[in-house]
Chains A and B, each alone.
Chain A
Amino acid sequence: MVDAAFERRSGSAAGVADATTERRTTRVAATLVAVAFLAFFLLLPLAVVFVEAFRKGVDVYLAAFGEPDAQAAIRLTLLVAAIAVPLNLVFGVAASWAIAKFEFAGKSFLITLIDLPFSVSPVVSGLVYVLLFGAQGLLGPWLLEHDIRIVFAVPGIVLATVFVTFPFVARELIPLMQEQGNSDEEAAMTLGAGGLRAFLTVTLPNVRWALLYGVLLCNARAMGEFGAVSVVSGHIRGLTNTMPLHVEILYNEYNFVAAFAVASLLALLALLTLVGKSILEWRFGDAISGRTAH
């Protein structure tokens, strides 16, 4: 009552509530500028992918996927993600268990090392494997002798993908598990559960949404990685081309409709990832600790 009276007395727009925000015109102008900027820089490129893909009609669009090379690229992309994501999932769980549930010296250094692949250029991520396994690389002569192909073959593509997606699951789980502490697991063990049972019935359910969140991001990057994979692939059509590499080849051959058609599949994957990510953030924000920066 007193507050209301004070507000009225102190004059129209300068009430206490209004003191902590900008003028209406400023707000509207700032919102318009921000939304226009995002629409121009983010939505327009997304829209152009689908418009270019359907430029010559649905038939030509679909024909792009009938090609054996395109199908081989899709299969290889799925295969690479199917290997890389579970590998980094297991690593993420193991690393977060060791880091979040125990106290040991050098922990923050270990976390920095786990984050390392994020600060390395994708091209450099591919290069390191060429230097290690390439014909002139450290292990090159030995591999040649035993007739093992890693670089310019599927294993190299998998390795490069594992490298660039390395931190995704771990960095979602570590802060959350650190926040949750050990009391749930300790309670379970007091009640007679073994370590494995405590992990499966207590820890895993506690972190399941964050785990899914990490897997989602890891998968999107695994299927979409271009730079690292491009360096180790050798670009052999039908054999070592993933979808992003196939997009590049088609584009450089001026086969724009086919390039954008394959790109539209990847864009769809990105949109699905964003939808899944948003749903997880809105519904289970607390359960994934609400961190969004990457």
Chain B
Amino acid sequence: MNNTAIAPTPAEGWRWKQPSVIPGFGIAFGYTIVYLSLVVLLPLGALVLRASEVGLSGLVAVAFEPRVFAALRVSFGVSAVAAVVASIFGLLVAWVLTRYDFPGRKFVDAMVDLPFALPTAVAGIALAALYAPNGWVGAPLAALGIKVAYTPLGIFVALVFIGLPFTVRTVQPLIADLDRELEEAAATLGASRAQALRQVLLPPLAPAVLTGLALAFARAVGEYGSVIFIAGNLPFVSEIAPLLIVIKLSEFDYTGATVIATIMLALAFVMLFAINLLQAWSRRRFGHG
């Protein structure tokens, strides 16, 4: 073995960076790393450090405090249901927007991004006003005996709102890419349209639908602004985990806040990992993702 650290020739040896005639790598890469470290990695490191002081046993102890456990259960439970509902309607909306033409289609398509663009606090007070017992939607529902605002159902409504663009936008490009010849072949071979949809068209969309679901779920679990106004924030009933972090912070219980944040962060990483696996699987299985 010769010493490759000094001058590896292009043909042999491992290089961290490929040579290039384009200048500016050092300054661009250096700035990226420094800025990333200062803004993102250092603060997240502070959280990890604080959590490591608590230790695993402390983490588990706080997680199973009744109020914390209830908040985590509400957050994860309602987020899961909302993500599933958002995915089902997201698939329908994506299909209609991509496959059908109707007056105002471009307008409707642009509207899908509204939850991305609308500040969450604005969405929060709007939904609360809408679903309050005297609101446009809340009043008729109250007459039927259904209470939405200030219950977990209110959290569900807000999380569907927040999750919808993720589910639509993840599936939409794949529907546009579907190979028409497959449908024609299915029809030629005698499949009914329902069979073609179920057996030929929907299976390749499944990874994208699941990815959208995971994205919507991950966003919903961490969501704060659009939920707290409509939720009523009753401990053990409609109190979400992010709100409990804020409450713990206002009580100067930094440890409690850190533990809940760490649990949520850990889940965010698991979701990110799951999404990456899904997309890798989708690329292998269907050649896109």
Residues of A that sit less than 8 Å from B by CB: 16, 19-23, 27, 30-31, 33-35, 37-38, 41-46, 48-49, 52, 90-91, 94-95, 97-99, 101-105, 110, 112-114, 116-117, 119-124, 127-132, 134, 136-138, 159, 162-163, 166, 182, 185-186, 189, 194-196, 198-199, 217, 220, 223-227, 230-231, 243-245, 247-248, 251, 256, 259-260, 263, 266-267, 269-271, 273-275, 277-278, 282, 292-294
Q: A34-B93, A220-B117, A294-B169 are in contact. Are A127 and B249 (CB under 8 A)?
A: yes
Which residue on chain B has the smallest CB distance to residue A230?
A: B246
Q: Which residues of A contact B119 (CB under 8 A)?
A: 223-226, 243-244, 263, 266, 269-270
Q: A30-B96, A119-B272, A195-B24 are in contact. Are A127 and B261 (CB under 8 A)?
A: yes
Which are the 5 A-B pairs with shortest beta-carbon distances? A121-B222, A224-B119, A19-B187, A195-B23, A128-B43
A271 to B164 alpha-carbon distance, docked (Å): 17
Find residues 126-143 in chain B having any chain A CB closer than 8 Å to their own CB.
126-127, 129-130, 135-137
- A34, A95, A231, A251: residue with the most chain B Cβ atoms closer than 10 Å: A34
Which residue on chain A has the smallest CB distance to residue B18?
A: A103
Candidates B17, B21, B39, B92; contact of A166 at CB < 8 Å: B39
Q: Which residues of B contact A292 (CB under 8 A)?
A: 113, 169, 172-173
Interface contact A123-B46, CB-CB below 8 Å: no
Candidates B47, B122, B246; contact of A128 at CB < 8 Å: B47
Candidates A38, A120, A131; contact of B46 at CB < 8 Å: A131
Q: Among the listed stretches B54-62, B64-72, B147-155, B251-259, which one makes contact with chain A, having 4 or more residues with CB under 8 Å of it? A: B251-259
A34 to B112 alpha-carbon distance, docked (Å): 11
Q: Does B41 contact A (CB under 8 A)?
A: yes
A243 to B111 alpha-carbon distance, docked (Å): 23
Q: Which residues of B contact A27 (CB under 8 A)?
A: 100
Q: Does B22 contact A (CB under 8 A)?
A: yes
Candidates B97, B110, B258; contact of A278 at CB < 8 Å: B110
- Interface size class on chain B is 35 or more
A223 to B122 alpha-carbon distance, docked (Å): 12
Interface contact A259-B222, CB-CB below 8 Å: no
Residue-wise, chain B 223-260 has the 8 Å CB interface mask toward A (1 for contact) of 11100010000000000001101100100101001100
Interface contact B169-A95, CB-CB below 8 Å: no
Candidates A104, A124, A130, A224; contact of B18 at CB < 8 Å: A104
- A38, A244, A248, A274: residue with the most chain B Cβ atoms closer than 10 Å: A38
A90 to B39 alpha-carbon distance, docked (Å): 14
Q: Which residues of A contact B99 (CB under 8 A)?
A: 21
Candidates B24, B47, B102, B183; contact of A20 at CB < 8 Å: B183
Interface contact B40-A113, CB-CB below 8 Å: yes
A91 to B31 alpha-carbon distance, docked (Å): 8
A278 to B245 alpha-carbon distance, docked (Å): 37
Since A37-B93, A244-B119 are in contact, a sample of 15 more A-B pairs with Cβ atoms closer than 8 Å, ordered by chain A residue number, is: A19-B187, A27-B100, A35-B102, A37-B89, A91-B36, A102-B20, A113-B36, A127-B258, A129-B43, A185-B22, A230-B225, A248-B229, A251-B229, A266-B119, A266-B121
